[in-house]
Structure 1
């Protein structure tokens, strides 16, 4: 049975060039980059070359990139350290109701510490209102944390507009770009972004690795207490071979490749919609299929078929999809994203699946997915 992987929003497989780079550097750059002798200097050079490649990918300076263990650490660091460092200026933070748990849980932690957090609502397209944002912003606001693109429905949030509004405000602007990095053109200076989080495994890189962009002049203590690595901004010995592999994945992801992937994934979406429609399947899209969204994510409401039953049957057929965020899909909690969009009583909450595409998917696989879904639904409803 051929297996089809359609959960690339959860993680992506490393491609062969990335694997080759990792293996090569496991042999050649295994030294501690903080040491001063030859092995360390060699590792340090690989580390800094990788930092340069990654900084260029978001139009940042090399010394604005801090390597971390991934998106969760980057989000936690940006949010908690900003709040604790700047609380003398105010204790108000703005975020959205559809952020990843790596943002929402730090917010809840800060609320318990006496901070005031505004959670902007979203509409049925998974989009916030700029008017709501303006109404929430006040003189006590010290941080705005809004994701670049949503991991469950693919909605793209108005980062450029928010950044422009905050350019002359005291609040620092953080964006969780874990899903968007590798698909969208990101320019941190153009969009007035102060802090940005990523994760390598979302674009065919290694797991347990990411970076936090910190605009030069943004100062707060290292979130982890220990050594002086990353110019005292993140303690812990750098995983140089994995960082080199991350940089390889980024280098392969050229602007032309990003545009091509977005276009290809949009075609995959239309292929699924057309196939299900032609088969007479009763379904709706959760969110929007606007071409400027994150096109690798498609969330389907398959009416009358539970998420668990559909996901289980697809798994038995060798097709991997998700019921929501991979970080919460294993729990019994309903999707907070779909709940925010449609309300807790909507049947969409328990009858939806997330399909997410990656660089290795083909149109033939999409056809097979559609045919399998149609077969499962007809069997269940027949």
Structure 2
């Protein structure tokens, strides 16, 4: 199914706030359409419950084009938002203008001083059983006018065309909202027996001029602190995927990738599965949460996050995407994202804390990561 333009009136996310349609787009596929029903009957987000529900939903359908799509939260204590969907759409954003919304209230949690204290607390926990913790911040913005969800998604696609752009219904009837973002990070893609993952860890804010930007990229590539942070993630990803693979290709050194606001250290890992019954969801759960969004080792980092952070990450730092009945699918790490309601936006971003981390640098990194959604709202140009 193809449309000449994206977001015409008959399509999901027309020029109104629609919290009952789902959207996901990457270089592989664009998926958009009204949800046919929830995959889950309860809020449980533990792996066995979710995997069983997904398998049951896809097995019950006689429609070969039906998929499961949506988002899985960072913590098993939060609710997954997974739905049945069918439509596949060729997307062509319409219009060139980014509307600028007027904020009437802005609140950051935690504030900069409190975040610096959180970083210090995390560093005090480091030792043989903990070497990295990812700490997040939330930015709440109340808007003077009603937000156009369609424009926000189109803007995200326009300013970050290489990202994994998504909009997943996430609220309840009395409080509808949509989880929206444009992630730079592929958690797992499965096509037949071939898998790909692209962990990102180690980041720096982009420079304002070409010369500053080039200097930032070089500084990141040669930063011992960031290379160490990246190596922790790559080691964990290799260990998680090796049991599923006949072959696994892991480059020796990272490369650089960029978003409109941030440079990242990046490694693309490919593998060939040993068992055709292994699904993209099986592999996504084997990786989730990676040290890039949680820390290392996982359980110790999870415990530290629970003791330090004062807000619920919800779907942020989980994973978002889709899977078909064959087990093929694509899941991105849920980053550069926000909960979007009619007149409010709650953004999430985090930074990896390792030995040598400096609070002001980590705070600046997080604020740069907010720039993806803020730019799509017209707040950052």
Fold shared per TM-score above 0.5: no
Greater share of helix: 1
Greater share of strand: 2
TM class, shorter-chain normalised? under 0.3
Output the TM-score relative to the length of structure 1.
0.26
Give 1 or 2 for the bigger CA radius of gyration.
1
